[in-house]
């Protein structure tokens, strides 16, 4: 059976374009979601995952309707694979029931891993550069070494777009406000480091 999933980010947006395309592609059931891609509580997506069966195909209008990030998209498609369900993106001409579609998602997964490594590498490079300029401990004033380590972890995890900030805060035993503040401090610190490096080069 072909199952459709349609999503828009706000209640004011219209699902008609997606629904019409999914119906034209032969979807017998369409799950309709009105939630931001960054919202972890996508109830209709959860509902669909509970009800699809092996041999079904899940169709979306475009890739960004399913995943809130490349990492999330790969994870969702892997769930379909575990459930023995094919995934089809109409506008992107991707069908994981074909050899070509499977290959494309292997490439996507490799790119997602590469992107994560680049983010971590850039963060560490920025901190190393700050230490070389004489910043004590490679961290801004007002943060202990332990707090700064957590701040860097928050920044890295958030940049990877693997989890939402509330989830990161919970994992690291922080309040949401502290997690957001830590992320802002690291971003500001790295931005200042980059500015100083640019000034020195001039």
Do 120 and 169 form a contact (C-beta atoms < 8 A)?
no
Burial bucket for residue 94 (CB in 10 Å: 0-12, 13-18, 19+): buried
Examine residue 12 and state whether it is found in any structural domain, yes or no.
Answer: yes
- Per residue in 88-146, pLDDT tens? 999 988 898 888 877 877 777 676 666 666 666 666 666 666 555 555 445 666 778 77
More confident site: 183 or 146? 183
Residue 144 bears catalytic tag: no
State residue 153's pLDDT score: 81
Question: 148: domain range?
Answer: 115-201
State residue 62's pLDDT score: 92
Do 93 and 119 fall within a single domain? no
- pTM score: 0.57
Domain count, the chain: 2
Do 133 and 174 fall within a single domain? yes
Examine residue 110 and state whether it is found in any structural domain, yes or no.
Answer: no
Other CB atoms closer than 10 Å to residue 24's CB: what's the count?
A: 9
Identify the active-site residue in 9, 36, 69, 164. 9
- Per residue in 46-73, pLDDT tens? 999 999 999 999 999 998 898 777 777 8
Examine residue 103 and state whether it is found in any structural domain, yes or no.
Answer: no
């Amino acid at each position: 059976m072909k199952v459709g999933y349609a999503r828009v980010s706000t209640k004011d947006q219209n699902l008609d374009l997606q629904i019409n395309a999914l119906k034209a592609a032969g979807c017998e059931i369409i799950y309709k979601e009105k939630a931001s891609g960054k919202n972890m509580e996508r109830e209709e997506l959860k509902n669909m995952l509970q009800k699809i069966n092996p041999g079904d195909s899940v169709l979306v209008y475009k890739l960004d309707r399913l995943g809130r990030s490349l990492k999330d998209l790969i994870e969702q498609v892997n769930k379909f694979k575990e459930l023995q369900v094919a995934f089809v993106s109409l506008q992107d001409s991707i069908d994981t029931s074909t050899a070509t579609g499977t290959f494309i998602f292997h490439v996507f997964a490799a790119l997602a891993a590469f992107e994560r490594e680049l983010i971590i590498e850039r963060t560490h490079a920025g901190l190393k550069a700050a230490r070389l300029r004489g910043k004590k401990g490679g961290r801004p004033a007002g943060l202990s070494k332990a707090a700064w380590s957590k701040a860097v972890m928050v920044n890295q995890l958030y940049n990877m777009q693997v989890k939402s900030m509330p989830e990161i805060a919970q994992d690291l035993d922080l309040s949401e406000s502290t997690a957001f503040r830590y992320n802002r401090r690291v971003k500001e610190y790295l931005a200042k480091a980059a500015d100083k490096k640019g000034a020195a080069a001039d």
